[in-house]
Amino acid sequence: MKRYPQQIPLTDQQLRWCNQTLSSDALAAITLHKLATHQPCSVVRVGDAEWGILRAVATGRCAWFLKDKAWMTRMGLLGADLKLVARQTLAVAREADYFGTWMAGLYRPAYNLYTLAPDRQFIDVFYTRTWRDRGWLPVILQEAKSLVIHREHEKIVQDLKKRYRAPDITGIPATGWRDHAAIREAVGKSDANLILASVGSSGKYLLVELARDYGKIVLDVGNAMLECWCRDVPTITSVHCYTKDTKLVSVDWG
């Protein structure tokens, strides 16, 4: 595993960002509270793809994936207005109720998306995986009436129903930015109170709008729905940290 260029101890700013980050367990408790009290909220994550788009728009330097037609098609970005996606990403950082970015940004300045909203609260972006491993998923799914938004929604809906004994789950497709109007219409007509979404970079701001406009709890789960929630193997089994002498320490509990 490649070492980060910056080591422990953290800078004062890095420490503030860590202190401003909500744990996955806390986010699960908040989600259950929102379900019980019928309060909408948006939970949105950003990472490598959004960083690449922001950099490309700002500097003209394109990451490899933005030049890869297959990747762009799979991510629903082919033909999208990347300048609009970049502006919406900036808006998400300000307007999402709960906002998460990749923690590697603490150590790798080129991937630092904390700077989009440095003074706000953050979430652990890997809640999508730790919830499964720590047993939160059946609790939340059985409590909610859920709508899955995903390219492979039919497979995911059937698996979640069976795996977590949560009968009240339906789904609609999401293949890219061209689906946004249909998604908006379907969510507006749905009586689901929990939206589980995988809509790619072009749909991040859409999730903020769905929560705000239709009074839903909207979770940006991404492809963890397929790769993690529909699998039996634990997905998080170790923690990596970097000590003063830059030696990699791996603590396994799986």
Is 45 part of any domain? Answer: yes
Is 5 part of any domain? Answer: no
How many domains in the chain? 1
Is 105 part of any domain? Answer: yes
Is 88 part of any domain? Answer: yes
Is 2 part of any domain? Answer: no
pLDDT given at position 241? 42
- Mean model confidence pLDDT for the chain: 90
Is 6 part of any domain? Answer: no
Question: Mind listing the pLDDT tens digit for each residue in 152-170?
Answer: 999 999 999 999 999 999 9
Question: Mind listing the pLDDT tens digit for each residue in 165-212?
Answer: 999 999 999 999 999 999 999 999 999 999 999 999 999 999 999 999
Question: Mind listing the pLDDT tens digit for each residue in 79-127?
Answer: 999 999 999 999 999 999 999 998 888 888 777 999 999 999 999 999 9
Is 7 part of any domain? Answer: no
CB hemisphere CA count around 171 (13 angstroms): 22
User: Whole-model pTM?
Assistant: 0.89
pLDDT given at position 235? 55
> Could you tell me the residue range of the domain that residue 148 belongs to?
12-252
pLDDT given at position 253? 31
Question: What residue spans of the chain are helical by DSSP H?
Answer: 12-19, 24-37, 48-59, 69-74, 82-95, 127-133, 136-143, 153-164, 180-189, 204-214, 224-227
pLDDT given at position 212? 98
pLDDT given at position 247? 40
Phi and psi torsions of 61, nearest 5° = -90, 115
Question: Mind listing the pLDDT tens digit for each residue in 51-88?
Answer: 999 999 999 999 999 999 999 999 999 999 999 999 99
